[in-house]
Amino acid sequence: MSAASKREYLWLAAVAAVLIAAVIFTRGHAEPIGTFIDRHPVWGLTLYLALNIVDAVLAPGATLPLIPVAVHVWGRILAALATTFGWTAGSLIAFLIARRWGYPIVRKFTSMQRVQNLKRYVPEDLFWSIVLVRLVLPMDVISYVLGLSTDISWSKYVAATALGLTPSALLLAYLGKLPHAYEIIAFGIGAAIVVASILIARKKAARGSGSARRRSRVGT
């Protein structure tokens, strides 16, 4: 296994550990967390938004277990709006970090290997592509990629990001009210990790076959 593949798997394992720990912790403390948000609406909302901003910048997905708590306190629509606002603000911060300070700072926040892998997929029609990407991957390094490798304005980036994130936030808010919300979230995390592992393995296999073909051509 190459060093790059090892780093990808280690990053994936770290993300999985953080997400599962967040699910377990939030499920075990859902009642006191919900009570705090309900009794201190301003501080509760501020903390929720701050955590979602940090989520978008540093730890994608770590605040997903908080959505059921927010839904039970605020209802589905308000929880979805707060989630969308927090994620959008965090994504904008990540975008502006990349745009302002470039690679030396970005490498402190995320995997540069993943940034390089995603750069090749940046399309020309950025606005609707960002909307589509956000529908599929609400939180990812795409904010850094777009800040580093495109000239899209921050206002268009914010509009596209918010438009793409809103359906995901609404769906998660709907799921958050279901009786087995935490099990659904844990299952979703597990499925995402499995899919990511398969993609990494396929990428490694494709690189290996490409190298083999090049060696074969050289040999002939």
Q: Quick: pLDDT tens for 130-148.
A: 887 777 665 667 888 888 8
Give the C-alpha separation, 59 to 135, whole Å: 18
Q: Quick: pLDDT tens for 59-69.
A: 677 788 888 89
Predicted confidence at residue 82, as pLDDT, reads: 95
Task: Give a yes or no: residue 55 inside a domain.
Answer: yes
Q: Which domain holds residue 24?
A: 3-206
Predicted confidence at residue 38, as pLDDT, reads: 86
Mean pLDDT score, 65-75: 90
Task: Give a yes or no: residue 220 inside a domain.
Answer: no
| 25 contacts 18 by C-beta, under 8 angstroms | no
Predicted confidence at residue 46, as pLDDT, reads: 93
What's the alpha-carbon Rg for the chain, to the nearest Å?
19
Total domains in the fold of the chain: 1
> Of 88, 144, 153, 97, which Cα lies nearest the Cα of 119?
144
Give the C-alpha separation, 197 to 75, whole Å: 35
Gap between the terminal Cα atoms of the chain: 27
Q: Quick: pLDDT tens for 29-56.
A: 888 888 888 899 899 999 999 988 988 8
